[in-house]
Amino acid sequence: MSDSIPVTAEGYVRMQEELKNLVRVERPKVVQDIAEARAHGDLSENAEYDAAKNKQGFVEGRIKELNDKIARAQVINPAEIESEKIVFGAKVTIVDVDTDAEVSYQIVGEEEAEIRDGKISITSPVGRALIGHLVDDEVSITVPSGVRVYEITNIEYS
């Protein structure tokens, strides 16, 4: 797993902040929780101890994952991109050809994708389908409800 992963500057900062919180706040809290649970005695039937150990596993796993992603991150500033085609970081407006419903997405890395914020992963079916297209192109995208056809109405980088 030595491949670089694309990430926006905003996404990179968010990963660093999460890592800092896990290392400085969550990890010490879990260690304290384990110590308190141990003080209660018999560990074989101690639900608090089991829960704290499970949380420790999650926290340590997430720290390892974030360290790996930060080390492999290729930070891309969409404002510096000059392209007529859709590439990583593009803010794309598409219109459903059948319903005229308009939606806008920014194409980002997997770690920063959040559909509620209009950010979709470059590896998602919609993200993959849009890459390389131009304004006024029609794109067929396979979604859970079937194949939808969208027209690209705007591409911007900011």
The pLDDT of residue 86 is 96
Q: Max alpha carbon distance in the chain (Å)?
A: 68
What does the pLDDT look like over 88-143, one tens digit per residue? Answer: 999 999 999 999 999 999 999 998 999 999 999 999 999 999 999 999 999 998 88
Whether residue 41 is found in the same domain as residue 62: yes
Whether residue 87 is found in the same domain as residue 69: no
Spatial contact of 120 and 107, defined as CB atoms under 8 Å apart: yes
The sign of the torsion formed by the CA atoms of 126, 132, 138, 140 equals negative
Whether residue 109 is found in the same domain as residue 130: yes
Whether residue 42 is found in the same domain as residue 84: no
Last residue of a domain, one of 35, 56, 76: 76
Supply the CATH number for residue 61's domain: 1.10.287.180
Residue 1 scores a pLDDT above 70: no
Domain that residue 61 falls in: 5-76
What does the pLDDT look like over 47-79, one tens digit per residue? Answer: 888 899 999 999 999 999 999 999 999 999 998
The pLDDT of residue 2 is 58
The pLDDT of residue 121 is 94
The structural domain count of the chain equals 2
